[in-house]
């Protein structure tokens, strides 16, 4: 399966209890993010999700990374470098430091009895942040005028165009958008056609002149 065909998932949360999974799923549903926020109940299921989806953040209870959370973090970092790993739960400070050194983005330390509550609270905060960012982006998007063939650029085509305006290469754009370089080229060709541009330089120039890029 190529990257462009994978389903998108913003976050996968690896939880121990049914209650935590239900609380996270219920909040995701209320915020219209039921497809973007997923829960699993073991490390093996998390790995399946990471292979099948483009996951921005993976949050896992320390106990589910047993027997060695340090090796788990290192393995996850090596296999899925674009996914930020955050560990949560009752962890010795030395182990927490080793987990971060192994590649985890951060550790949310909590007493054994409060791990679920912290995990749920963090996940909800993450969801609110994603919603706020999406709302802000929607408000600040410049109004498009139809291209020469009468078509508006898609959101992905706009992202490619904006990245080009920043001087990023196709490979760097692919890394930013979590897609292959060939997929970036495909979006670029469609975008060139809609803008009536011959190449990247002309597309960037027209983007600035038309107000698509400030």
User: Residue 91's domain is classified under what CATH number?
Assistant: 3.40.50.2300
Which pLDDT belongs to residue 3?
A: 40
Choosing from 139, 170, 196, the residue where a domain stops is 139
Query: For the segment 26-49, what is each residue's pLDDT rounded down to a tens digit?
Result: 777 776 666 678 888 888 888 888
Residues 49 and 124 in one domain: yes
- The total of other beta-carbon atoms located within 10 Å of residue 122's CB is 19
Which pLDDT belongs to residue 125?
A: 67
Q: Which among 18, 6, 91, 14 has a CA at the least distance from the CA of 59? A: 14
Which pLDDT belongs to residue 183?
A: 93
Query: For the segment 44-65, what is each residue's pLDDT rounded down to a tens digit?
Result: 888 888 888 788 888 888 888 8
Cα angle 42-43-48, degrees, rounded to a multiple of 5: 100
Which pLDDT belongs to residue 182?
A: 93
The reply to whether 146 falls in a domain is no
Has residue 96 got a pLDDT over 90? no
Choosing from 139, 174, 196, the residue where a domain stops is 139
- CA atoms within 13 Å, Cβ hemisphere of 161: 28
Q: Which domain holds residue 69?
A: 3-139
Q: How many domains does the chain have?
A: 2
The pTM of the full predicted model, rounded to 2 decimals, is 0.53
Return the higher-pLDDT residue of 138 and 197: 197
- The total of other beta-carbon atoms located within 10 Å of residue 60's CB is 27
How much is the mean pLDDT over the chain? 77
The reply to whether 147 falls in a domain is no
């Amino acid at each position: 399966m190529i990257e462009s065909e994978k389903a998108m998932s913003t976050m996968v949360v690896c939880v121990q209890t049914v209650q935590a999974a239900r609380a996270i799923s219920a909040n995701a549903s209320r915020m219209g993010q039921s497809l973007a926020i997923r829960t699993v109940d073991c490390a093996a299921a998390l790995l399946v999700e990471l292979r099948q989806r483009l996951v921005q953040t993976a949050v896992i209870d320390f106990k589910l990374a047993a027997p060695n959370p340090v090796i788990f973090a290192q393995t996850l970092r090596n296999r899925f470098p674009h996914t930020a790993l955050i560990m949560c739960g009752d962890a010795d400070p030395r182990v927490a430091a080793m987990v971060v050194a192994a590649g985890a983005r951060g550790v949310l330390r909590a007493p054994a009895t409060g791990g679920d509550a912290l995990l749920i609270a963090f996940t909800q905060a993450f969801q609110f942040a994603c919603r706020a960012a999406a709302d802000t982006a929607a408000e600040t998007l410049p109004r498009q005028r139809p291209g020469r063939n009468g078509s508006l650029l898609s959101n992905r085509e706009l992202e490619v165009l904006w990245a080009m305006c920043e001087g990023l290469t196709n490979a760097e754009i692919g890394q930013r958008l979590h897609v292959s370089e060939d997929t970036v080229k495909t979006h670029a060709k469609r975008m060139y056609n809609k803008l009536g541009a011959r190449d990247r330089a002309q597309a960037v120039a027209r983007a600035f002149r038309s107000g698509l890029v400030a």
